[in-house]
Structure 1
Amino acid sequence: MINAFRGLSIRLAGWSEELRENGLRWFLHRVWLDAGELLFGAWKAKDTLVAFYDLAFSPAHFDFVNFLILAEIHRRRSGCRALHIVIVPGPHEGFDGHKPRERNDQGVENLRWRLRHVLVPCSWLMPSCRQVSVLGSRDQARLLAASFAGRIFPRRYSIHRRIKCHLSNRVMKAVPNESMPSLAATPQALFHVEQWMKRVVGGRKLIVLSLRECSYSRPRNSSKKDWAAFARGLDPAVYFPVIVRDVEAGLDPLSEDFEGITALHEIAWNMELRMALYEKAYLNLFVTNGPGILAYYNRKARYLVFKILNEECGITRGWSKKNFGTDLGQDWPTATPFQKFVWDEDRLEVIQEAFKEMCEKIESSNGAAAPFTPVASPAGGG
């Protein structure tokens, strides 16, 4: 910063003559651009696309991943080699003024938590990301956008223009399936997960159960009794089930239904470890929830997703088709053969049947069949 101001003082000598020759309006524009060049010059690599995520118009939750995918698509088309993700504060305590979804009396602190623990770390799951900046003001965003003119996303970004780039339907319209970018776990996160698997999982198949345990839209939450019954029913000689808690419930006591089943509480808020776990899992199982989007956009992650619709919460067939491009019985538009939507509730028998079918598909592709062999078929399941 000191060097920037030194450079600014050097340029002052030439500005007075330019003011006399070109007038005040031209002079102010020139000062603005020169200041941007000096203050942000270190960021201005010619092969970098600067992508603005504006919290005035976009939410602080996992839909941010859709923005990352769109930014990556634009980076490819622009010929740039790297992404610089810039998060712009909104006008209402840094956000858009809408109430946080969480029902825990923490107000805007919920959003600040998500900014630090979801948005920023998710940026690093895009392999082309080389820098992440969280700006302190909207004026900084205006200056930065002017300084990078021609290499920004959205292409017509302005702090005054309402552009929403966090919607799934925009991603689906942007590119054909075969061109869809993929998120990826970071090497260090993979190292830690692999070390843990060597010590704990051994040669068994890692089954990751990601729970939804939100204080809002509760009918969409995981049916814990069914998930616990499913986990207990897996043959412990073949499978190793682990529980990943919801972002909102990472340190809450786990239901007694899961007694004896490994829970990785620390994974809840560590997006790099979460993604590495998803990649290394033999199979991931979800109900529709925010973190699931990490697997949707990772071609290496195998998954089953249940409870796609919930009319009580407004997630109808029409809503799904409009927002995700998926109709009844269809998979996520970019799904691989090992990524499947199960259009049914997360009841024990539904989970078991879908799991059996996917395991057979995976083993068939590997050239070796391994039947689904639960220890027992627990009665009930809530």
Structure 2
Amino acid sequence: MDKKYSLLMSLFNEFNANELHIIICSVFVDEITQSLLERQVNIANIFFFHTAKNLVVPATDYVCETIDDDEILYAVYDLKRSIATFDATNFAVLAEARRIELGLKYLHFIVIPKEGPKNTISIMSMHEPDDLQWRINHILLPLFSCIPSCKGISSLVTREQARPLENSQYHIFPDEFTLQSPAMPMGFPELIAAKNEGKSLAHIQAPRNALNLVDSFLSSYAKDKKVITITFREYNSHQQRNSNANEWRHFLESLSDEYLPIIIRDTYKATSPICDELAGYLQFPMASIDLTVRVALYQRAFLNFSIPTGPAYLFYFIPNCSNIVFREFNNAHFATSETTVSKGGYFKDEQPEFRQNSKQIVFWGQENLANIHQSFLIFLKECEND
């Protein structure tokens, strides 16, 4: 390459470069472009053959942006205290709010494992190792990628790999980060504190490619219809908290052709047949498996229905997302007890303080046909008043 390149440069010197259009056909596009710029060639005159597009394109359209460390907020999600669930939504939106407050350009999320060195003990108290890794890959990483300013996500193998972040000159979130004393999980108090300071929390947005996939799907199935999603809970554990398929069947049968219902199933059930009651309705398995696609569908939908599930928590942090979530206290299970639910910011017969607008509705009552109809009418009334 060196001999050919030297010959090229010697020939190049015989011409007035700025009177030429230079087309680079080489894997060394960066190096050749840099050499041309050093010879005072205007970058507007430089083109290259884009192998993926099979086209000659202008270099100016493909210049990578430069990034400096002092423009980045490093957001550290420590699995020693936090868990690999949709609770990470709080961390993600608060990290973005902090980035905006500091006037920085980018976020770099760093996931630190729970396991310590050999002379320490760590207990897998929430998830089995395989399930934990799945959740990191399919919940945490795509969730963090739905923050538009995110420029990188690092999932570390050991805790010691995060040691350089301690007492460094980097911008770190949370501010008090140390490996020895990880910050407690962020939740309702931190959200309300940020909102009371005038900070926006609506920072979850699907990446462009995910939106393109959803738009392609909807162009084939929805056309001019208004999309209504139903996020379905169908876990093997705590089955008393699952969605009521029969009630939803009756509601969907009553919908006019103005609407297109789409069922988003639980991730672990997405590849198996759905129950007979809902077998005739449209599903979108990709949205069950790929979180970025799920977010894109929530963004595009006219309305999103759900009972309390992890993914349904995203509704409140997606700009202009409309939703109805059915809630009720049930002290027979800790997850639905009044004490637990209230800690999350949900208080009986009230709307959550962190919601964005009046079209994000918590309907206090059972997930039954009468309540589904009533909540839908309330939502349509809000649309009229909007």
TM-score (norm 2): 0.77
Separation in structure 2 between the aligned mates of residue 241 and residue 260 of structure 1, nearest angstrom: 11
| Higher RCO (CA-CA < 8 Å; seq separation 6+) | 1
Residues 252 and 261, structure 2, Cα contact 8 Å, conserved in 1: yes
Residues 75 and 81, structure 1, Cα contact 8 Å, conserved in 2: yes
SS at 1:152 equivalent: strand
Moved more, 312-321 or 336-345: 312-321
Q: What letter is aligned with 1:97?
A: I
Which residue of 95, 104, 110 corresponds with 2:131?
110
| Structure 2 residues without counterparts, runs of 5 or longer | 1-65
Per-residue CA shift, 1:282-318, capped at 9, x if unaligned? 1000001100121111132100000343322222333
Which residue of 358, 363, 366 corresponds with 1:337?
358
Separation in structure 2 between the aligned mates of residue 115 and residue 85 of structure 1, nearest angstrom: 12
Per-residue CA shift, 1:73-126, capped at 9, x if unaligned? 221222212111000111179x9634446xxxxx32111111101100000111
SS at 2:268 equivalent: coil
Separation in structure 2 between the aligned mates of residue 44 and residue 213 of structure 1, nearest angstrom: 45
Per-residue CA shift, 1:13-34, capped at 9, x if unaligned? xxxxxxxxxxxxxxxxxxxxxx
Per-residue CA shift, 1:126-182, capped at 9, x if unaligned? 112111111111111112344x43510111111111312342332223332852221
Which residue of 37, 43, 65 corresponds with 2:89?
65
Alignment of 1:130 with 2:151, yes or no, is yes
Alignment of structure 1 residues 1-382 onto 2, 5 Å: 45-91=69-115, 97-100=123-126, 107-146=128-167, 148-176=168-196, 178-182=198-202, 183-235=204-256, 237-314=257-334, 315-321=336-342, 323-335=343-355, 336-365=357-386
Q: What letter is aligned with 1:120?
A: L
Separation in structure 2 between the aligned mates of residue 53 and residue 70 of structure 1, nearest angstrom: 12
TM-score (norm 1): 0.77
Separation in structure 1 between the aligned mates of residue 379 and residue 348 of structure 2, nearest angstrom: 19
Separation in structure 2 between the aligned mates of residue 88 and residue 353 of structure 1, nearest angstrom: 45
Q: What letter is aligned with 2:209?
A: Q
Separation in structure 2 between the aligned mates of residue 72 and residue 121 of structure 1, nearest angstrom: 15
Q: How far off its partner does 1:358 sit?
A: 0.6
Q: How many residues align?
A: 315
CA RMSD of aligned residues (A): 2.2
Separation in structure 2 between the aligned mates of residue 227 and residue 142 of structure 1, nearest angstrom: 51
Residues 81 and 185, structure 2, Cα contact 8 Å, conserved in 1: no
Separation in structure 2 between the aligned mates of residue 98 and residue 218 of structure 1, nearest angstrom: 23
SS at 2:74 equivalent: strand
SS at 2:332 equivalent: helix
Moved more, 288-297 or 312-321: 312-321
Separation in structure 1 between the aligned mates of residue 228 and residue 122 of structure 2, nearest angstrom: 38
SS at 2:267 equivalent: coil
Larger Rg: 2
Separation in structure 1 between the aligned mates of residue 345 and residue 197 of structure 2, nearest angstrom: 12
Residues 349 and 364, structure 2, Cα contact 8 Å, conserved in 1: yes
Show the counterpart of 2:52: none
Separation in structure 2 between the aligned mates of residue 337 and residue 177 of structure 1, nearest angstrom: 20
SS at 2:109 equivalent: strand
Separation in structure 2 between the aligned mates of residue 78 and residue 203 of structure 1, nearest angstrom: 42
Q: What letter is aligned with 1:205?
A: K
- Pick closer, same or farther for the CA change 1:143–1:56 going to 2, 3 Å: same
Moved more, 178-187 or 342-351: 178-187
Show the counterpart of 2:23: none
Identical-residue share of aligned pairs (%): 26
Separation in structure 1 between the aligned mates of residue 163 and residue 170 of structure 2, nearest angstrom: 14
SS at 1:227 equivalent: helix
Per-residue CA shift, 1:165-205, capped at 9, x if unaligned? 34233222333285222111222222221221111111111
Residues 287 and 307, structure 1, Cα contact 8 Å, conserved in 2: yes
